[in-house]
Amino acid sequence: MRADRSLPRRAVAAALAAATLVAAAGCRHNMHDQNKIKPLRSSPVFADGTSARLLPAHTVARGDLRADTAYYTGNGADAKPLQQIPFPITREDLQRGRERYDIFCSPCHDRLGTGNGMIVRRGYKRPPSYHIDRLRGADVGYFFSTMTEGFGVMPSYASQIPVEDRWRIAAYIRVLQLSRSLSADQLSPEERKRLPARRGEK
C-alpha cells in the first residue's frame, strides 16, 4: 500500500498560509496602534493637557488672505460698488463670461438678460431685466457683489463661481446692456459693415 505523500505538502502549505496571515496581521496591528494624537482628545504632551493647538498668531491659510478687498467684494474703500472691473477684460474673458452666464444666470435671467428664463416660466419669481434704467445705471461692482452675497430670492453663487469668473460675468452683463442701447452711430466703420442690412437696403 503506497503512503499518501500529499499530506506533508498540505501541512507545509497550511503552515506557510498561517505564517503569512500572522505577519500581515502584525503589520496592520503595528500601524493601527502607532503613536498619534487624536482630535479633541487629551494629551500629556502639552502643558494644558489638550491635543488641539491654536494657530500661531497672524497665521493665514495660503490663498485666503484676500487683502485686495475691492477685488473680492466688488466694493471700493468707500464701501460703494466699483465702477470699473479691477483687471483688463479681453475677448477671451468675455467669451468665458458668456459661457458662465449661460450656465448659472440664464435659467432665471434668460440669455438676453430680460428676466424671462426657463425656471421663471415655470413659476419662480421673475428677476428684473438688466435693461431697466436702474440696472443700466448700476456700477459693475453691484453685479459682482450680488453674485457673491445674493439678493432677494437669488442665492449666493460664491461657492459655485470663482471670483474671476464673477467679474467676467459682470463684464458680459455690461455687453448685454450695450447690445440693447448702443446705436449704429457709436460703432466704428468696420463694425457697421458687419451689421445685417436693413430690409430694402443694398
Burial of 139 (0-12, 13-18, 19+ CB in 10 A): middle
CA gap 54, 46 in Å, rounded: 12
Domains of the chain: total: 1
CB half-sphere exposure, 10, CA atoms < 13 A = 4
Q: Where are the alpha helices (DSSP H) in the chain?
A: 6-32, 69-73, 91-104, 106-109, 118-121, 133-136, 140-149, 163-181, 189-193
**pLDDT score, position 2:** 54
Look up the domain containing 122 and give its range.
89-183
What was the pLDDT predicted at 59?
A: 84
Task: Provide the Cα torsion 79, 80, 84, 88; round to 10°.
Answer: 20
33 occurs within a structural domain: no
pLDDT digits (tens, 9 = 90+) for 143-153: 999 999 999 99
Q: Is residue 120 part of a domain?
A: yes
- 122 occurs within a structural domain: yes
Residue-wise pLDDT tens digits, 74-117? 999 999 999 999 999 999 999 999 999 999 999 999 999 999 99
In a domain, 100, yes or no: yes
Residue 13 lies in a domain: no
- For residue 36, being part of any structural domain is answered with no
- Within-domain flag for 147: yes
Low-confidence ranges of the chain (pLDDT < 70): 1-7, 21-32, 197-202
Grid cell listed for 18? 498561517
Longest CA span, the chain: 114
Evaluate if pTM is beyond 0.85: no
98-101, long-range: CB < 8 A, 24+ apart: 98/172, 98/175, 100/161, 100/165, 100/168, 100/169, 100/172, 101/169, 101/172, 101/173
d(CA 120, CA 124): 4
User: What is the domain-level CATH number for residue 96?
Assistant: 1.10.760.10
Q: Let me know: does 96 contact 102? Beta carbons within 8 Å.
A: no
Residue 176 forms part of a structural domain: yes
The phi and psi torsions of 67 (rounded to 5 degrees) equal: -70, -25
Q: Give CA–CA dist 202/191, Å, rounded.
A: 17
